[in-house]
Amino acid sequence: MKFTKDEVIGVAFSKLKPEKRDVFADIGCYSCKVSAFFSPYVKKVYAVDLSLENIKPEYVKDNVELLEMNGVEFLKNYRADIIFFGGTKDIEKMLRLAFDRGTKKCCVSAARIEVAIKAKKTMEELGVFKEIVAVCVWKSYKLAGYTAFKPINPVFLVVGVSSCSME
C-alpha cells in the first residue's frame, strides 16, 4: 500500500515548519494523509493527485481542496507557499515551476536514491537546496515471546528553502 508513514510525515513537518497563513500543497497525495496532518497548521491545503479514488474521506478536512490533476498542471494554475511532493514524476519540472511561482519551502519524498539526487541537483541549480534526510523507520513486533524489529523501506526527504523564507 502506497501511503506516507506517520514518522516520515513528522520529519517532513519539522523541516517545513508551516505557519497558519501558509497555503500548502500535497502533490501526489494518494490517500490525503499528509494533507490531513498539515491542515490544522495552515490556511489552505491543496490535495493533488492523478486519481482521487484512494482518498480516505476522514482525511479530507474543511480547508482541504481535492484536485484531480497532475503536479505540473497544478503548478501552472495554482500557487502554494509550501509543497510536499509525494509524487515524483516530472520532479525537475515541478520544482522549477514551484520556485518560479513563489514557493517558499518544499520537501520531496523519494523512495529511490536516483529520484532524490535528481531533486537535489535541481534544487542546487535553483539555489534552494537545504538538505537530504534519510528516514529509516523500524517497527517492533513479537517474535518467540520477545521484541524484534522489522524495517520499513527508507525514504529520502529532499528539502528546499528559498532565500526569501529566511530559513
Residue range 40-67, pLDDT digits in tens? 999 999 999 999 999 888 889 899 999 9
- The arithmetic mean of pLDDT across residues 89-93, rounded, is 97
Residue 2 pLDDT class (50, 70, 90 cuts): low
pLDDT at 58: 87
Q: Would residue 19 count as lying in a domain?
A: yes
Q: Would residue 63 count as lying in a domain?
A: yes
- Which stretch of 14-18, 75-79, 151-155 has the lowest confidence by average pLDDT? 151-155
Q: Would residue 47 count as lying in a domain?
A: yes
Q: Would residue 58 count as lying in a domain?
A: yes
Taking the C-alpha atoms of residue 112 and residue 108, their distance in angstroms, rounded to an integer, is 11
146: which 3 cell numbers? 520477545
Contacts 24+ apart (CB under 8 A), 110-117: 110/155, 110/156, 110/157, 110/158, 111/153, 111/154, 111/155, 111/156, 113/156, 115/88, 115/91, 115/156, 116/156, 116/158
pLDDT tens by residue, 147-157? 999 998 899 99
Q: Would residue 141 count as lying in a domain?
A: yes
Q: Would residue 23 count as lying in a domain?
A: yes
Number of folded domains that form the chain: 1
Q: Would residue 55 count as lying in a domain?
A: yes
pLDDT tens by residue, 108-155? 999 999 999 999 999 999 999 999 999 999 999 999 999 999 998 899
pTM of the predicted structure, to 2 decimals:
0.94
pLDDT at 166: 52
- The arithmetic mean of pLDDT across residues 20-31, rounded, is 97
Q: Would residue 1 count as lying in a domain?
A: no
CATH code of the domain in which 27 resides: 3.40.50.150
In which domain, by residue range, is 39 found? 6-165
Contact 110, 119 (CB under 8 A): yes
Give 70 or 1, the one with higher predicted confidence: 70
